[in-house]
Every structure is written in structure tokens, then in C-alpha cells.
Amino acid sequence: MKKPVILTGLRSNNDLHIGNYLGALMPLINMQVQHAKDYDIHLFVPDLHSFTTPIDHSKLYEQTINNLRIYAAAGLDLDSPNTHIYRQSYVSAHSELTVILNCFSHMGELSRMTQYKEKAENKPNISVGLFDYPILMASDILLYDAQYVPVGADQSQHIELARDIAIRMNNKFGDLFTLPEPEAKQAEFMSQTERMRIRDLITPEKKMSKSDETGKGVIFLTDTPEAAAKKIMGATTDSFGEVHYDKKERPGISNLLDILAALTDTDIKEIVSRYAGQTQYGELKKDVAEAVSSFLTDFQFKLSQIDDAVIIKKLEASEIQMNKVANSKLLSVQKALGLRL
Ligand code: AMP
């Protein structure tokens, strides 16, 4: 019997930081570990989505492969037969279904998409691709009858749109598409894998983000272990002088505790108890610095050992398989629309 499908995109992004690692990569890998037996897991690289706003195209191909190297180094199991890793542009049915779905989608509903409005605001020459992004995303989902689509909150409106389009097409043409689960069920599913928010080291009131200009508050996965340790030692703390977990009152210290707990897989309470009675943060900072630098040493070693041939082999095998699945769905749509007998 066909297994239910979980589908999610692996974003291309070369400036990944420890926040992305703990807040996005690890939950994804945990999801794979948790569900690989009972679900078909589709992890696709949305390369056609990557230039809805201008990018440096000379880097696109390499970035895709590099991103997959990072996922593999972080522990993504490339051998799992139920995990399919493929590039969107290598499965042409994504583009073909988009052209079809365009004719069953409304300008009004696309104009209301918050992400479009935000990205398009005050910009000249907005691309049609940016406007149409949610329809390509609907194709990504509907081609494989995906049930769960773990995405950030900014994308949940797009999943609702995919549902609306699928309902509209099913009403007109019969049961063509499986509906992705509604938002509440998606949220419930996603909450099974814990997501954490890592804060900026210098300004712990905001999240760690690659857009930080100085880079001092951000631990990039490419930082040398020494540089990263220095950044931790320079992290903003507070004047309480007592190790205590309180995200609101003591965001800096709580952030360091979060990082230490996640990297050493230890309970926060247990960590806090180690520093009971101390009146300074030096010891804690040293321990976090050590954990971060040993994490980076280990991660960067793993990354250097990744064999590109293994990645390419997995991509090619999945792409052959996914072309079969997607083309079969596309054919049923083409038949329903009168394009094929
Ligand atoms: P971005 O690089 O900001 O586009 O984010 C890519 C992914 O990483 C998203 O799934 C975010 O939720 C996650 N992410 C980004 N920044 C952080 C952070 N500081 N802590 C945890 N997760 C993050």
C-alpha cells in the first residue's frame, strides 16, 4: 500500500548558522528518523523557486549540491529507501502542472498572499514568478498527494491555497488530488519535532540571523572553532551573575543554556544545577565555547568527508523515481482536462 507522504523543501542557503542547524536542520533530520518507516519522505530542492527574486545564477547549481552536503553532514540518511531527495527542476511535471493550475487559480487569491505582498512592497518590476510562487508550491505538493508539508508559519497560507485549488479541481473533474491536511493538523504534526529559536549572541532580544551585519552575534557553520569560541566568550549576558533559565528576564544566559543543552543533548535543569552557587558566568561561557567549538570541529570534519558522488547518485535515483510518480499524476490531470485520451 502507498505510504502517506511528508513533503518539504530544502532551501539553498550557503550562510547557514547554528540557529538554522538547531532550528531547521536537526528537526528535519529528527523527522526523518521518526517517520522513515511509516511515511514516504520527499525532501526536494526548490531550485525553480530560488529566483523569484534576483540571485547570482552562477552559484545556483553549486549551492544546491553544497546545501545537500550540509544536510548529509548533519546526519540526513541518504540511504533510506523511503526518503526521496530531488531537484524540482529535474522533474518537469512541476512546471507543467503549474501552467495548468494557473488557469484554475484566481488573481484575487494570489494577490492576498501575505508573503507576496511583503516581498513585492515598494519594489519595481516584480516578477510574475514571485506572484505565481504559491501555484508552483501547490504543484510541488499536489503532484505527490502530500499529506503533511512541514513549513514555517510564513508558508501556511500557501498550503491553504493548495487545498483550495485542489478542492476546486476535484469538484470540477472528480478526485484528482489528495488534499494536504489543514493548518491545525499540520501544526499538530510539526509540533512532534521540537523547534528551537536561537538568539543573537550580542543582542539576545532578537533571533540569530544571517542578516546581522557584524557577524559577531552569529555562529556560522563555516566559522573556525576558535573564532566561534571567541564569539561565545563575548556574548551579552546580564548583571544578575547567577545561572538561571529565564528567557524573558535573562535572554542572553538562557540562550547560552539552550545552545549547550542542544549540543550536548542534556536537560536544561541538569545544566543549571551544575552552576549552583556561582556568582559569575565565566565557567558557563567556557563550557558553551568548548561545546560549540567541538561541535564545529566535528561538523566540519564530517562535511569534508562527504562524497559528492553519493549525493549525485541519490539525486539521480530519486529523480527517476519521482518523474514516474509525478508524470502519472500529471497524466491523470491531462486526461481529466481533455488534453489526453
Ligand atoms: P532563514 O535562513 O532565516 O531563511 O531560515 C531558514 C530556516 O532556519 C527556517 O526554518 C527558520 O525557522 C530556521 N531558523 C532561522 N534562524 C533561526 C534561529 N535563530 N533559531 C532557530 N531556527 C532558525
Q: What are the strands, taking DSSP E only, across the chain? A: 5-9, 40-45, 83-87
Evaluate: CB of 221 within 6 angstroms of ligand 1. no
- pLDDT, tens digit (0-9, with 9 covering 90-100), for 178-193: 999 998 999 899 887 7
Evaluate: CB of 197 within 6 angstroms of ligand 1. yes
Evaluate: CB of 20 within 6 angstroms of ligand 1. yes
pLDDT-derived band at 12, boundaries 50, 70, 90:
low
Evaluate: CB of 24 within 6 angstroms of ligand 1. yes
Report how far residue 140's alpha carbon sits from residue 131's, in angstroms, rounded to the nearest whole number: 16
Report how far residue 19's alpha carbon sits from residue 258's, in angstroms, rounded to the nearest whole number: 11
In this model, does residue 324 exceed pLDDT 70?
Answer: yes
**Grid cell for residue 70:** 550540509
Report how far residue 71's alpha carbon sits from residue 29's, in angstroms, rounded to the nearest whole number: 8
pTM, entire model: 0.91
Residue nearest atom 3 in ligand 1 by C-alpha distance: 209
Locate the ligand 1 atom nearest the alpha carbon of residue 16 and give its number.
2
Residue 328 burial class via C-beta count within 10 angstroms: exposed 0-12, middle 13-18, buried 19 and up: exposed
Cell 545537500 -> residue: 68
Evaluate: CB of 266 within 6 angstroms of ligand 1. no
In this model, does residue 252 exceed pLDDT 80?
Answer: yes
Q: How far is the CA of 219 from the centre of ligand 1 (A)?
A: 13
| Domains of the chain and any CATH numbers | 5-196+308-336 (3.40.50.620), 225-303 (1.10.240.10)
Cell 508550491 -> residue: 137
Residue 49 contacts residue 133 (beta carbons within 8 Å): yes
Distances in Å between the Cα of 148 and the Cα atoms of 5, 137, 179 are 7, 13, 10
Mean per-residue pLDDT for 266-291?
A: 96
pLDDT-derived band at 11, boundaries 50, 70, 90:
confident
Evaluate: CB of 198 within 6 angstroms of ligand 1. yes
Tell me which of 8, 16, 18, 20 to substitute to probe ligand 1's pocket, judged by most ligand atoms within 8 Å of the beta carbon: 20
**Grid cell for residue 294:** 567541538
CA distance between the termini of the chain:
27
In this model, does residue 2 exceed pLDDT 90?
Answer: no
Locate the ligand 1 atom nearest the alpha carbon of residue 13 and give its number.
2
Closest CA to 29 of 302, 326, 328: 302
Q: How far is the CA of 151 from the centre of ligand 1 (A)?
A: 11
- pLDDT, tens digit (0-9, with 9 covering 90-100), for 111-165: 999 999 999 999 999 999 999 999 999 999 999 999 999 988 889 999 999 999 9
Report how far residue 196's alpha carbon sits from residue 6's, in angstroms, rounded to the nearest whole number: 21
In this model, does residue 281 exceed pLDDT 90?
Answer: yes
Mean per-residue pLDDT for 82-87?
A: 97
**Grid cell for residue 22:** 538547531
Q: How far is the CA of 206 from the centre of ligand 1 (A)?
A: 12
Residues with catalytic function:
119, 207, 210
Q: Residue 49: how many CB atoms within 10 A of its CB?
A: 20
Cα 331–chain centre separation: 30
